[in-house]
Structure 1
Amino acid sequence: MSEQAATPAPTAAARPAEKAESLLLRHVAAFFESPLAVVGLAGLVLLVAAALAAPLIAPQDPYDLAQLDIMDGTLPPGAESLAGYTYWLGTDEQGRDMLSAILYGLRISLGVGAVSVVIACAVGASIGVLAAYAGGRIDSLVMRVVDLQLSFPAILVALVLLAVFGRGVDKVIIALVIVQWAYYARTVRGSALVERRRDYIEAARCLALPKSRIVFRHLLPNCLPPLIVVATVQVAHAIALESTLSFLGVGVPVTEPSLGMLIANGYDYLLSGKYWISTFPGIALVAAIVAINLVGDRLRDVLNPRLSR
């Protein structure tokens, strides 16, 4: 028997797996073709790693009042404390090391943004795909609610919700979920309306599969590419919105300062020349948002073949 004849042919189950793997590799290769996307991804990984490792690498615990010395308040970058410690990014009015405060603030800002997006994405995607599959009055009712939600500015809705809920990290997450779910519902609904006319959905219906299996095992997975892009961009939007709320004093509590609250703490000192209290947290916030947007913009080009250059 020849060697060619002895080689077994790939099974039908192996072909889709190989096709999916090759498609994933092509997407990864296309993503890394953009230098800006690589820079954004590297910056995002660095910021996330710094935020996760804040308790290990931060010179000071900004939440521990016993470590703060009011005599070290508003020291400029590079100044030394009475104990001989060097504050590389200076201190705020409470003697808090700005480098440590930024690292811990990144944890809250990135954490709130990521958690709120995951929950809002799950809720919005489920509602959107169910509305598209059901059609008729259910679809019309859901879309009218979505249109009503999107007709109001996000910051206004979040301010009203936090005025009712009160301050707190969990309250901010709930407010961001209520503000953002409609974006995912509209995105998934538009993709699901196209996908439900495909042959594989008709085949699933002919096999009398349960509707829940058709929606969540066949229809929803094929709507993921645009959902991934929207979710990535919405993380940056959620971080910016949380920082705005904290800057206005209705977001996270004072005991858990995020980047927005750190910027607000130094706002009154800008005209007195003590720029570092607001400037360095602002730079960290801008860096995180820009990095996420660079990654999201490249994902949009890679996952949408109509936009490929």
Structure 2
Amino acid sequence: MSGETIVGALEPKADIAEPAKPARVDSPLKRLAQDFFADRLAVFGLCLFVVIALIAILAPWITPQNPYDLAQLDIMDGGLPPGETSFATGGTYWLGTDQQGRDMLSAIAYGLRISLVVALVSLACAIVVGVAAGVAAAYFGGRTDSLIMRVVDLQLSFPAILIALILLALLGRGVDKVILALVIVQWAYYARTVRSSAIVERRKDYIDAARCLALSHRRIMFRHLLPNCVPPLIVVATVQIAQAIALEATLSFLGVGVPITEPSLGLLISNGYDYLLSGRYWVSLFPGVALVVTIIAINLVGDRLRDIFNPRLQS
């Protein structure tokens, strides 16, 4: 055998195909994050909401005054315009004060706390009640479905603000009363949303397979049926947070929401409404701006989530 033949035999074959690498499959959560962060407006809304939430959470440590502590209020500082100096402490009120000498910057931060706490707690409670009712209506059907959905239809036929006003007129003022009223007002939205999705999922093969395995109704509903109804629930929950904040502000503005000793954004706007045209615009203007910015930030996030989870809106 010649040298050229030996060298040729030792050289690697160029036409031997290498084994194909398995395709990389991203997790649903990663795909959701990629789709969400592809929209700059939604990212801006999320960042803005995070900043607002941090201001509300850190309010006791970053604000110069506790607006709920009457001992820290000085009537001599009442009605000071933005940028004025306190007569008592010498500090600067960057957003001015109201007629009680309450620092508007501190009051807005604490008001955001109340608005977000009321919205999030009522959201969690309403989701629990609404999801349980919606899944039960879709899974059992028949009279159970008819009874639950007739109650839902009856409640949704009335304006939410009207139901909340009636409930608070009976229950009285207070943060817990407002949360209870919002739960009663909002649970029907989640019940209808979950039911519509659960009816579609109930007809699929994996539900029939779970029934053939003699699994309990509770396990089938909450371990198999409910997880596939989460995407539309997330969209509705995001929208309802903004509506809960707006509804709480409306109730407080009308004087039936939170007590006057714990002013929320709506109550702050109401306190300065009478002075809006008399030169003290800042008492109502700045809380109103904070309320609008918060709702816009949440709606920007909710609109993007709606586009992601709705296949009809996909390009």
TM-score category, normalised to shorter length: over 0.9
4+ residue segments displaced more than 2 Å: none
Distance between the aligned counterparts of 1:210 and 1:307, measured in 2?
37
Is 1:104 paired with 2:95?
no
For 1:184 and 1:308, how far apart are their aligned partners in 2?
A: 24
> How far did residue 275 of structure 1 move?
0.5
The equivalent of 1:61 in structure 2 is: 66
Match of 1:50 in 2: 55
**Match in the other structure for 2:193:** 187
Provide structure 1 residue ranges, at least 5 long, that are not aligned to the other structure. Answer: 1-9, 11-17
Instruction: Give the Cα separation in 2 of the matches to 1:272 and 1:308.
Output: 51
**Match of 1:139?**
145
Following superposition, the deviation at residue 304 of structure 1 comes to 2.0
1:169 and 1:43 mapped to 2: Cα distance? 25
Quote the residue 1:30 is aligned against.
Answer: 35
Kindly provide the CA deviation profile for residues 34-55 of structure 1, in whole angstroms up to 9, marking residues without a partner as x: 1110010000000000000000
Bigger radius of gyration? 2
Identity %: 73
CA distance in 1, matches of 2:43, 2:219: 37
Partner of 1:73: 78
CA distance, structure 2, for counterparts of residue 150 and residue 233 of structure 1: 16
**1:228 is the counterpart of 2:234:** yes
**CA distances 1:182-224 after superposition (whole Å, capped 9, x unpaired):** 0000000000000001111011011111111000100011100
Q: Residues of 2 paired with 1:27 and 1:304: CA distance?
A: 12
Question: Which amino acid letter does the alignment assign opposite residue 288 of structure 2?
Answer: G
Cα drift, residue 162 of structure 1: 0.2
Q: What is the alpha-carbon distance in structure 1 between the residues aligned to residue 100 and residue 28 of structure 2? A: 53
Unaligned runs of 5+ in 2: 1-21
The residue type paired with residue 172 of structure 1 is V
Q: Secondary structure at the match of 1:121?
A: helix
How far did 1:173 drift?
0.2
Q: Give the CA deviation at 1:302.
A: 1.1
Shift of 1:306: 2.1
- In structure 2, distance between residues paired with 1:44 and 1:199: 41
Aligned equivalents of 1:305 and 1:143: distance in 2?
26
Q: Output aligned runs, 1:151-300, within 5 Å.
A: 151-300=157-306
TM-score (norm 1): 0.93
Q: CA deviation at 1:260?
A: 0.2
**Cα distance between partner residues in 2 of 1:169 and 1:66:** 22
The one-letter code matched in structure 2 to 1:176 is L
Q: CA offsets per residue over residues 11-42 of structure 1, 9 Å max, x none? A: xxxxxxx96x6221111000011111001000
Deviation at 1:305, TM superposition (A): 2.1
CA RMSD of aligned residues (A): 1.6
